[in-house]
Amino acid sequence: MMFWYGEHWAWWQGGLMWLGMIVFWGLLIWAVYALVTNLTRKPGQPGTTRGETRAILDQRLARGEIDAEEYQRLRDLIASGDHQSPASTGSVR
């Protein structure tokens, strides 16, 4: 017996199939990209949180926003890995 002989899919069924395929391949490509970038990232490299934090701290010292004591305290805080916000961040000029 020939079931549904001569019948065709509705246009929205084909559209859903294409949409599903695009979403699937997009997620697969994104997962591979995220995996590769996370595996190839080196610790301490600029672009990591600790490296960016240290650079910002250096810039604040250079601009005179914080003094040497505050700089040393914040640098030790960053190096210790304690990510709690400090009580005072110094005066802004």
88 by Cβ neighbours in 10 Å (0-12 / 13-18 / 19+) ranks as exposed
Domain identity same for 33 and 15: yes
In the predicted model, what is the mean pLDDT of residues 63-88? 80
Output the six-digit token pair for 89.
């961040």
Domain identity same for 33 and 54: no
Domain identity same for 14 and 35: yes
Domain identity same for 53 and 76: yes
Instruction: State the residue range of the domain holding 75.
Output: 49-80
Distance CA 18, CA 16 (A): 5
Give yes or no for a contact between 66 and 60, defined as CB atoms under 8 angstroms apart. yes
Instruction: Note whether residue 85 is domain-resident.
Output: no
The angle at the Cα of 45, spanning 39 to 51, to the nearest 5 degrees, equals: 125
Of 19-23, 52-56, 70-74, 85-89, give the range with the top mean pLDDT.
Answer: 19-23
Domain identity same for 54 and 74: yes
> What is the total count of domains within the chain?
2
pLDDT digits (tens, 9 = 90+) for 19-32: 999 999 999 999 99
pLDDT digits (tens, 9 = 90+) for 37-59: 988 877 655 555 667 888 888 99
Instruction: Note whether residue 89 is domain-resident.
Output: no
In the predicted model, what is the mean pLDDT of residues 11-22? 92
Domain identity same for 55 and 34: no
Give the DSSP per-residue string, 39-61. HHPPTTSBTBHHHHHHHHHHHHH
Instruction: Note whether residue 73 is domain-resident.
Output: yes
